[in-house]
Structure 1
Amino acid sequence: MNITLSKFNALAAAKLTLMAVMMFGFGYAMVPLYYKICQVTGIKNLLNPADTDDIAVDPNRRLRVELDTNARGLVSMSPSVRLMDSVESGQTYSVIYTLKNLSNRRLVGQAIPSYAPARAGAWFKKIQCFCFDQLTMEPDEVREAPVVFIIDAAMPEDINTVALSYTFFEVEGAQ
């Protein structure tokens, strides 16, 4: 009976070990799998720059862009300019954001963009953005981060002002 019980215990231990390894593998594969699903389905993908091949250009269409930031946690964030008048559709613009880690510890975070009106985001194309990646900042580190964008002239005529706001969130568990 002892031999059977020890075989049972060994088999159970092997199954539990295999299950733990499979769960770890599944968890590890979830992030790339999520990004691949978003890419295939066309769901909003914040990690890739905009495709600018199909941007409509209208040199007579000018918009106002307001830039805003919100920081959650221990980071201060500010754009080099808060207001851009006469932004021409189809032209490339760049704004530098200054981020500062106000804490005495290393932190990892990510900026998430939002637009007002919300529907303007479909025509506000970011080519380069610090929001595409998680940022690791050392204590008291100051970093300049560019945002390069184009506004598509296909934006509805009733939208004359677009507010771009970034909220910085600390990523829990990342160090």
Structure 2
Amino acid sequence: MRLSQDPTIDTVAKLGAVSVGMFAFVFVVMVPLYNVLCDALGINGKTSSEAYISVSAEVDETRSIKVQFIATNNDGMPWAFSPQVTEMLVHPGAANDTVFFAANPTLNTMVAQAIPSVSPSRAAEYFHKTECFCFEQQPLDGNGEAEMPLQFIVDQDLPADIKTITLSYTLFDVTSLIGDKVASR
């Protein structure tokens, strides 16, 4: 079927339609498909965004797992953000506490959201946060500082070959997404 008498216009129209179709396929189909596939295979390194409720208080004191903490800022996030300790030895099944420190060096109130990631990715399902600053957005006044608590349990079912778990947080500025709520503080 011809769209016009000029074959060049026909070709440009077809190429435009193919380009739009490819763009839609990549962003509408591939991203959700990728997320489903990673979740099904357990290779996403994501932890739950909800508090874990421990059903067993049994601690395996025969094993020690090194947990490392890394804090980074997304581009454009001016806060100072760091873990109080960079690593600790924990026993599977034991409740553990640590703190992350944040400071807002700007004059304005800002809101941050921390996104966690666990490495190796297959350890993510065995790393349970019972309390985490990442569960909620964190507002901080200009020139303000905050200690942000983290409580976690490493599951006893963690595979024996995993000796080190790295918990990494990336801090994002979400102030513009909150907008009026920040201004009314």
TM over 0.5: yes
Give runs of ≥4 in structure 1 deviating > 4 Å.
none
Q: Give, as a single letter, the amino acid of the residue that structure 1 aligns with 2:65.
A: L
Shift of 1:173: 2.5
**Correspondent of 2:108 among 105, 109, 113:** 105
- Partner residue, 2:72: 70
**Correspondent of 1:169 among 168, 172, 175:** 172
Shift of 1:52: 1.1
- Partner residue, 2:51: 49
Q: TM-score, normalised by structure 1?
A: 0.70
Q: Give, as a single letter, the amino acid of the residue that structure 1 aligns with 2:168.
A: S
Question: Structure 1: any 5+ residue segments left out of the alignment?
Answer: 1-43
1:22-41 matches, within 5 Å, as: none
Q: 1:55 to 1:118 in 2, by over 3 A?
A: farther
Q: 1:77 to 1:161 in 2, by over 3 A?
A: same
**SS of the residue 1:60 aligns to:** coil
Residue identity over aligned pairs, in percent, reads 32
Q: Give, as a single letter, the amino acid of the residue that structure 2 aligns with 1:148.
A: Q
Shift of 1:119: 1.5
Q: TM-score, normalised by structure 2?
A: 0.66
Aligned residues of 1:112 and 1:131 also touching (Cα < 8 A): yes
**Correspondent of 1:136 among 127, 135, 139:** 139
Rounded Cα–Cα distance in structure 2 between residues aligned with 1:137 and 1:146:
15
Q: 1:143 to 1:64 in 2, by over 3 A?
A: same
Aligned residues of 1:55 and 1:152 also touching (Cα < 8 A): no
**SS of the residue 1:84 aligns to:** strand
Structure with the largest fraction of strand: 1
RMSD of equivalent CA atoms: 1.8
Question: Structure 2: any 5+ residue segments left out of the alignment?
Answer: 1-46
Aligned residues of 1:59 and 1:89 also touching (Cα < 8 A): yes
